[in-house]
Amino acid sequence: MANWVPLWLHRLGSPPVFYRFAGAVRPWALGLAIALGAVALYAGLFVAPADYQQGDAYRIIFIHVPSAWMSLFIYGAMTLAAFVGLVWRIKIAETVAMESAPVGAAFTFITLVTGSLWGKPMWGTWWTWDARLTSELVLLFIYLGIVGLYHSFEDRRQGARAACFLVLVGAVNVPIVHFSVNWWNTLHQGSTVRLVGPSHIEASMLWPLLTMMAATKLYYIASLFARVRADLVASEGGKAWVRELLAREDGAA
């Protein structure tokens, strides 16, 4: 591997560099997320044909499924960051892990609510204690537990360290959510879109779904970077680079 990649990553580990990088990337990621999301939702809600069994109710898929993917993807990214933070004691990695949790909680909440809104007309119930639904609810509680633990310490660094451990412990739930539809007999349907082998979905429905997936990934980057910036301003408040930043903002105002 070219050695500029580890060098670049190493430089990103510095809070002022990450702060500037995040500030530069965030508007582009958010703008692109909104553009892709608008195209995908238009195609999903109005262009794609209705499902032959579920009619138009299936269109909730274009929100529910990308959100559900994000609820697991963000946990994966958060676990990676928490692991790096704990092992190599890199502060930025801890911050990235901690600030991923609220975004993950938001997507998990959306998944649960939109799933409920889909379940009512299709299954006849808002909620059932089925393996997929229950494990997703547990995922929401784990996310909220991480956020709560992080903020319950006077010393932010200590809180981040403790919550990073909780991230690693809670990671056991991620495969349970993913495989719950195969391991148990659930009311929730199995996966339609597959990474390996053909997906059981029409192309006119698949492309808006995949576009929405790209949009939610970009949204995560934008939201995470805004959160890391807010976090760094507080946790690095005593450092010279934040004071310089403040002086520059005062000068601009």
What's the Cα-to-Cα distance from 69 to each of 66, 233, 250, 253, rounded to whole Å? 5, 31, 42, 41
The answer to whether 204 and 79 are in contact (CB under 8 A) is no
Give residues with Cβ within 8 angstroms of 119, minimum separation 6.
125, 126, 127, 128
Q: Smaller CB distance to other proteins: residue 12 or 117? A: 117
**Residue 77 interacts with other proteins (CB under 8 A)?**
no
- Return the H-helix or E-strand segment holding 192: none
Question: Rounded to the nearest 5°, which phi and psi values hold at 135?
Answer: -70, -30
The answer to whether 182 and 17 are in contact (CB under 8 A) is no
Which x/- pattern, by CB under 8 A, does the window 3-42 give for other proteins? ---------------------------x----------x-
Q: Smaller CB distance to other proteins: residue 86 or 101? A: 101
**Residue 243 interacts with other proteins (CB under 8 A)?**
yes
* SS3 (DSSP) at 78: helix
Q: Binders of other proteins: how many residues, by CB under 8 A?
A: 40
Candidates 2, 195, 234, 240; binder of other proteins (CB under 8 A) is: 234
Closest separation in Å from C-beta 5 to other proteins? 28
Which x/- pattern, by CB under 8 A, does the window 208-227 give for other proteins? -----------x--xx--xx
* SS3 (DSSP) at 51: strand
Candidates 80, 102, 147, 176; binder of other proteins (CB under 8 A) is: 102
- Tallying the residues shown for the chain, one arrives at 253
- Which of these ranges, 137-145, 155-163, 201-209, 232-240, lies near other proteins under the rule CB under 8 A? 232-240
The answer to whether 64 and 118 are in contact (CB under 8 A) is yes
User: Contacts with other proteins in 154-193 (CB under 8 A)?
Assistant: none
* SS3 (DSSP) at 124: coil
Q: Smaller CB distance to other proteins: residue 86 or 235? A: 235
Give residues with Cβ within 8 angstroms of 58, minimum separation 6.
50, 51
Q: Smaller CB distance to other proteins: residue 59 or 86? A: 59
55: β partners: 51
Closest separation in Å from C-beta 50 to other proteins? 7
Residues that bind other proteins (CB under 8 A): 30, 41, 45-46, 50, 55-57, 59-60, 63-64, 67, 99, 102-103, 106, 109-110, 113-114, 117-118, 120-121, 219, 222-223, 226-227, 229-230, 233-234, 237, 242-243, 246, 249-250
